[in-house]
Structure 1
Amino acid sequence: MIPYRVSKIRRLGPARLTAGLDEHRRMDLDTHYEIHGKLDGQSVDSLISLAEEVDLRGRGGAAFPFARKLRAVQANARTSDTVVLVNAAEGEPASMKDKMLLTRKPHLVLEGALLAASALDAKEVVIATPAGELAEGSMRAAVAERGLIGYVRVAGIQERFISGEGGSLVRAVNGELGQPSGRKVRTSDAGVRGLPTLLSNTETFAQLALLAELGPEEYGSVGTVQEPGTTLLSVSGSVKAPSVVEVTPGVPLAQVLDMCEADVGDGVLIGGYHGKWLSAADAYGAIVSRRGMQQAGGELGAGIIVPLGPDTCPLGETVRVAAYLAQQSSGQCGPCRIGLPALARALSELTMGDPQAHDLVKSAATAVKGRGACFHPDGTTRFVLSALEAFAEDVDEHIINGSCGRGVKNTLPMPITEASDVRLVVDWTRCQGHGLCAHLMPDLVKLDHHGFPVFMDAPVPAWAKSEAQRAVEMCPALALRVDSRK
């Protein structure tokens, strides 16, 4: 579970998605109607026209045109029932915006989902949220308040980093194991219960409700011509207080960092753990928009901004996340089972000053890129490789001196389960270098040039725990054990 607290709200521009939150901790239905009014139903063609006029894009990271999704489901609706699925499974540890909307403005999200469902004559609306969290309870209360139990289903799912991937989400909602299927199946063709499904992110449906409320002209009166309206950013890391910031695209990132009282050292992570690092200079020259971030060398993605303070080792912070991402894979394909642990190990060796590790990181990334069953390997390699570029001076320090002289302050947000997972531990007074553990678990254990095991400093992935236990039982020297760090 990822720890959640009600986020501080900040703004650079008008209050739209966050309207009313200065006065209300959570907006019930009556308060929602006072702020946003009641929306009239619209035809699917009208919604498509609205979305196309402002080029409404998904806010989950991929920025896919919403009108194209609507049109694809509309085409299949002629011969089949349809479903609307809200992807509120925010498995990204550094993101807060969707939980904020679900917890504090649930009816704005529901309004957008119901608007699309009415237009498509959908048979069901599903809100997929992390199970057991405040957001799930808030959405259940909102559905009950509208008298929609039975038509709108709140599905609490196990939250992992890959839980928000489209295929993983659909499988979890369908009662299967929440991991990518390995097959490229568009949800507009077959999603929830095998029906054509309109799947989009929490903020996207909130934006759709705002667009219908304001109309395209007023909606597009702020922002840029290419990216009208406002958007939400999750700002954490080395800041005075983690915040959800509503901004108009086109503002300098420097204004966001200054507003959040960021203490920026070597760089800023843009777009989350599948995003890219920018050097401090590039970050302060960047513009907050999809196009602006691309021009600066980053990717806005789901709107995640994480500055690193000057007192933490940027490579060490990146290693923490790389190891976490390797552990969070579903372990279905070679790039995840073998490639991501190898990538995390090579990066760890680089932080310890191994001059060959720099090339090993690049080699491991090349072996993984474009070969996974989902986008997780590609996103992880993008994150790691951007660190080598953004922190080039720090890389040189580690290679020359074996360290940059700074500790790891755990600035990058991580799930609270990070400190209590199962890990492999070796008793070096017993280990005789038989190497059997590396043969039994080639995905997790490598041998050094002396033939002794080298373990990845990360929890054992769920898919590998049985292999780890078997390796412990078969160790000839009884040197291996499974340990739980508290």
Structure 2
Amino acid sequence: MSGVGVVAVTGGIAGTGGPRLTLGFERFDRLDLDRHLAVHGRLRTPVLDDLVSMAEKVDLRGRGGAGFPFARKLMAVAARVTHPSADRAVLLPGEENDRRRSGEDAVVVVNAAEGEPGSAKDKVLLGRAPHLVLDGAQIAASALGTRRVVVAVEDEEAARSVRAAIGERRMPARVVRLAERFISGESGAVVRAINGEVPVPPGRKVRAAESGVDGRPTLLSNAETFAQLAVLTSLGPDLYASAGTAEEPGTTLLTVGGTKVVEAPFGTPLAAVLRHCDAPAGQGVLVGGYHGLWLDPLAASRAVLSRAGMRAAGGTVGAGIVLPLARGTCPLGEVTRIASYLAAQSAGQCGPCRLGLPDVVRALNALADGAGTVEDVRRAAGIGRGRGACTHPDGTARFVLSAVDAFAADIEVHRYGGTCGQPVFGVLPLPVPTGDEGRVAIDWSRCDGHGLCAYLVPELIQLDRYGYPVILGTDIPTWMERDVQRAVAMCPALALRITNEMPNANPRR
């Protein structure tokens, strides 16, 4: 997949079982319909009760990060639609009349929005095994008595692959392209994008099962979840459970180091995954992505790939993202890079994102310079927790606070020397700059310290004790572009401007 750089896909970890989702990858670059049928067989579509029973028996969970039980999500949608199979579904008290009156068709949405830079598994699945994902979507749609399937995807190459697969099987499904942003994969943002609205989280909890695409009950899960559903239907619960652990059967896809996608059974030691991918733990391993948790090398050596195993080690499986931090780069600098990116990726709908995340970045910058404290970082990260319009501020805080604990030794060196002596190589993946990213810059030969800019855009600029502006240094978020342009136009000294260059050190700081 050219859109994700060099991707190495293997059929499983050596000695831990054969491939399932990646079956056939060793022979074919892409499984068209004929190859897919030869490798995986013909589609079987069980009725709703049987599908729910199979998903419950193996405790099939979503692979998008939250790990929500698929059977519960399926039943929640079935309870709100009217068709012969759904009549046997469990209805919530008081919903019988509502359901029969509405007679709504469900919508099945494949969420393949991988806005997180460290993830590539869904792109690989859609690029190389699109029919396996579509099989799962069609199985779920058939059980719910609907033909409405939507595939939401960011990557253009993956979108082309899915369109070709839809054409091959003459399936009444459509593909919707999403903007490549970190928050694009949030379920509410996906639904809004499909509905033609601004593709950001809605700011309030709206269950897709109740009101999703076009206001209809919507079953929304990520691409790997639907591929797992297809494998489960093909193998049956008993054979499906022959891999993995008794509590967590099956396999999962991991993206290691941002470039290697590998399939591994649950219960596999994380150390075995890292060895297989030639990715040593280095200074620590981030698991679960940029809303995930850091493991120090010792914890990583003991961690087991499962929800329970990762939890015991202090980590999380999340969306299957594993990012080792190589030796030789500054850990605190890397964490600050990612926190700055996350701050710029917010939807800007609430205080915890608009003001809280920039404060976290400022606290990290001060810590890296030896001028701040860990307590300052904890305070900034904790202010908005649980109060955001979506999970973005909570996830960012979790990432930062975990890093503060994992890299305590490096932080202590910064505290006394203002640096750890290591450069920041940027080994944690971020999107490749397009050249259109804007940043605020100040012409210091003109600036007189009026302070109007800090009043107009306090998210990006604050005043030091002498009344001169201190710039945050992140990319200008989309939702702030108009405010920044206004600040530039209103600067009395004409000292404020927008630049595409990386900012220099602030001499007034």
TM range (shorter): over 0.9
Distance 1:456 1:81 in 2: 48
CA displacement, residues 409-452 of structure 1 (integer Å, 9 cap, x when unaligned): 11011111376410000112222222111111111111122221
Q: In structure 1, what is the equivalent of residue 379 of structure 2? A: 363
**Is 1:179 matched up with 2:200?**
yes
How many Å apart are 1:358 and its aligned residue?
Answer: 2.1
How many Å apart are 1:480 and its aligned residue?
Answer: 1.0
CA displacement, residues 144-171 of structure 1 (integer Å, 9 cap, x when unaligned): 01112xx201111212100000100000
> SS where residue 199 of structure 2 aligns?
coil
Q: Which amino acid counterpart does residue 458 of structure 2 have in structure 1?
A: P
Which deviates more, 425-434 or 82-91? 425-434
> SS where residue 305 of structure 1 aligns?
strand
Q: Which amino acid counterpart does residue 81 of structure 1 have in structure 2?
A: D
Q: In structure 1, what is the equivalent of residue 230 of structure 2? A: 209
> SS where residue 476 of structure 2 aligns?
coil
Distance 1:181 1:100 in 2: 29
Distance 1:50 1:169, change over 3 A: same
Distance 1:365 1:421 in 2: 26
Q: In structure 2, what is the equivalent of residue 72 of structure 1? A: 76
Distance 1:456 1:385, change over 3 A: same
**Is 1:280 matched up with 2:284?**
no
Distance 2:3 2:104 in 1: 40
Q: In structure 2, what is the equivalent of residue 110 of structure 1? A: 134
**Is 1:381 matched up with 2:397?**
yes
Q: In structure 1, what is the equivalent of residue 39 of structure 2? A: 35
Q: In structure 2, what is the equivalent of residue 227 of structure 1? A: 248
Unaligned runs of 5+ in 2: 83-102, 503-509
Identity level (%): 55
How many Å apart are 1:344 and its aligned residue?
Answer: 1.2
Q: In structure 1, what is the equivalent of residue 438 of structure 2? A: 422
Distance 1:145 1:401 in 2: 62
Distance 1:114 1:195, change over 3 A: same
> SS where residue 416 of structure 1 aligns?
coil
Q: In structure 1, what is the equivalent of residue 339 of structure 2? A: 322
TM-score by length of 2: 0.92
CA contact (8 A) 1:3 1:415 kept: no
Q: Which amino acid counterpart does residue 19 of structure 1 have in structure 2?
A: L
Q: In structure 2, what is the equivalent of residue 124 of structure 1? A: 148
Q: In structure 2, what is the equivalent of residue 139 of structure 1? A: 162
TM-score by length of 1: 0.96
How many Å apart are 1:357 and its aligned residue?
Answer: 3.7
**Is 1:349 matched up with 2:372?**
no
Q: Which amino acid counterpart does residue 477 of structure 2 have in structure 1?
A: P
From 328, 337, 362, the counterpart of 1:311:
328
Distance 1:181 1:289 in 2: 31
Distance 1:216 1:264 in 2: 35
CA displacement, residues 348-391 of structure 1 (integer Å, 9 cap, x when unaligned): 1111111x342221111111110100000100000011010000
Which deviates more, 107-116 or 259-268? 259-268
CA displacement, residues 37-70 of structure 1 (integer Å, 9 cap, x when unaligned): 0122211111100000000000000000000001
> SS where residue 111 of structure 1 aligns?
helix
CA contact (8 A) 2:3 2:157 kept: no
Distance 1:389 1:439 in 2: 34
Q: In structure 2, what is the equivalent of residue 260 of structure 1? A: 277
Q: In structure 2, what is the equivalent of residue 85 of structure 1? A: 109
Which deviates more, 93-102 or 259-268? 259-268
Q: Which amino acid counterpart does residue 248 of structure 1 have in structure 2?
A: P
Distance 2:326 2:212 in 1: 42
Distance 1:182 1:424 in 2: 27
Distance 1:424 1:214 in 2: 56
> SS where residue 417 of structure 1 aligns?
coil
Distance 2:472 2:426 in 1: 18
Q: Which amino acid counterpart does residue 231 of structure 2 have in structure 1?
A: L
Distance 1:394 1:307 in 2: 16
Q: Which amino acid counterpart does residue 128 of structure 1 have in structure 2?
A: A
Distance 1:21 1:75 in 2: 38
How many Å apart are 1:485 and its aligned residue?
Answer: 3.0
Q: In structure 2, what is the equivalent of residue 244 of structure 1? A: 261
CA contact (8 A) 2:370 2:416 kept: yes
Distance 1:336 1:218, change over 3 A: same
> Cα RMSD between the aligned structures?
1.3
Distance 1:449 1:284 in 2: 47
Which deviates more, 418-427 or 94-103? 418-427
**Is 1:161 matched up with 2:165?**
no
From 6, 18, 23, the counterpart of 1:14:
18
Distance 1:262 1:40 in 2: 39
Which deviates more, 105-114 or 434-443? 434-443
How many Å apart are 1:5 and its aligned residue?
Answer: 3.5
How many Å apart are 1:123 and its aligned residue?
Answer: 3.8
Distance 1:390 1:259 in 2: 24
CA contact (8 A) 1:352 1:398 kept: yes
How many equivalent residue pairs? 477
> SS where residue 277 of structure 1 aligns?
strand
